[in-house]
Amino acid sequence: MAAGDRTVLQFNTPSSASLSAKVHPLVIFNICDCYVRRPDQAERVIGTLLGSVLPDGTVDIRNSYAVPHTESAEQVALDIEYHHNMLVSHQKVNPKEVIVGWYSTGLGVTGGSALIQDFYSREVPNPIHLTVDTGFRNGEGTVKAFVSVNLALGDRQLAAQFQEIPLDLCMVEAERVGFDILKKTAVDKLPNDLEGMEVTMGRLLALIDDVYKYVDDVVEGRVPADNNIGRFIAETVASLPKLSPPAFDKLMNDSLQDQLLLLYLSSIARTQLGLAEKLNTAAQIL
């Protein structure tokens, strides 16, 4: 057979080979909440991801909502009317949020994922598939993102293959403390404000140690210098206010005392509400 008569089996890759995504913590919390509230007969939760595509091509996932579905070994049925009604309601509040993909609970993709991916491919080009392991199979809640790549034989499409893409969890430090607790399989107690601050300060000191070690290695010639990292470190140091140690200690102590005062006032309000409720109950009985 001549070389030109051969049928080539190939992957039709997405338009952006360096596709990546970042997800906000609200999306993860929404998915976990929907999983807890799922019907008794449902094994997993499926829903729509909302967000936007940034100028650099990164998919920014900012919101989500669950979509009712029924699933069997042979087919998956989505409530498309509910999906479209929820999309219209969300876009009335934030018109800039569009469909960027869909999510499901569980570890990795399943057999029915290709059918759902095909539906969302008609809603938006190259949708993101986000998976959240609410079963903690690896000892923590694993979050992954995938895109589908079509396998074609000549001009005929045969199947779709899911490929994992880089996923960034963008959150502030206060959100990260809560997310780290959510990832664990068991927690003795929720940390209070002081314990959360202690964890945050420990991470900050660890990052400062890493930066100090990197700068020392560059100065000693053990690692090559990176201009981008050096510029970022210089900008970070320049953005810090110049405070003397006594002024910094006073600032920290004042902030700590403000937080303690808020905790004290909230405790007093809680106690007052409890007493008022008990007095009201006693008055009704008498």
Residues 6+ apart with CB under 8 A from 278: none
Cβ-count burial 4-26 (b if 16+ within 10 Å, e if not): eeeeeeeeeebeeeebbbbbbbe
Tens digit of each residue's pLDDT (9 = 90 or more) over 107-134: 777 777 888 888 888 888 888 889 888 7
Domains in the chain, number: 3
**Assigned domain for 255 exists:** yes
pLDDT beyond 50 at 9: no
Of 6, 25, 14, 282, give the one whose Cα is nearest residue 178. Answer: 25
Q: In this predicted model, what pLDDT tens digit does every residue of 232-245 receive, in sequence order?
A: 888 888 887 777 88
Contact 64, 94 (CB under 8 A): no
In a domain, 179, yes or no: no
Residue 52: CB atoms within 10 A of its CB come to 14
Residue 213 domain boundaries:
190-240
Residue 114's pLDDT is what? 80
Shared domain for 148 and 261, answered yes or no, is: no
Residues 33 and 165 in one domain: yes
Q: How far apart are CA 51 and CA 64, in angstroms?
A: 9
| Residue 223 sits in the same domain as residue 249 | no
Average pLDDT over residues 268-282: 87
Same structural domain, 201 and 144: no
* In a shared domain, residues 41 and 132: yes
CATH number of the domain residue 25 falls in: 3.40.140.10
- Give me the percent of the chain exceeding a pLDDT of 70: 79
Angle at 219 between CA 217 and CA 223, to 5 degrees: 40
Based on the fold, state whether residues 158 and 274 are members of the same structural domain: no
The mean predicted confidence, pLDDT, of the chain is: 80
Is 196 a residue whose pLDDT tops 50? yes
How far is residue 134 from each of residues 48, 127, 178, measured CA to CA in Å? 17, 22, 16
